[in-house]
Amino acid sequence: MPIYEYVCKDCQKEFESLRSMSQADAHIACVACGGDNTRRKPSVCYSESSGKALADSSSSSCGSCSGGNCSGCGH
């Protein structure tokens, strides 16, 4: 299950939440102020064919990507 990053527009708090992909854009309350003026941050992972060899997907989870090529974290 991937971790998504969210940011609160009210207090600028950035936090992460472990959610299923289907819930990635679902509403989430700010962990700091409890407000609902939050939005999901764009993933830092991009799917690209860099030619980099990948280990099996079960060990390549880097938090913000769910496997596959990830130029943001080196996975």
- Interface residues with Zn ion (CB under 5 A) are 8, 10-11, 13, 30, 32-33, 35
Beta bridge partners of 16: 5
- The smaller minimum CB distance to Zn ion, of residues 9 and 52, is found at 9
Nearest to 47 by CA among 59, 31, 60: 60
**Min dist. Cβ of residue 27 to Zn ion (A):** 13
- The smaller minimum CB distance to Zn ion, of residues 32 and 54, is found at 32
Any long-range contacts for 23-31 (C-beta under 8 Å, 24+ apart)?
30/6
- The smaller minimum CB distance to Zn ion, of residues 3 and 7, is found at 7
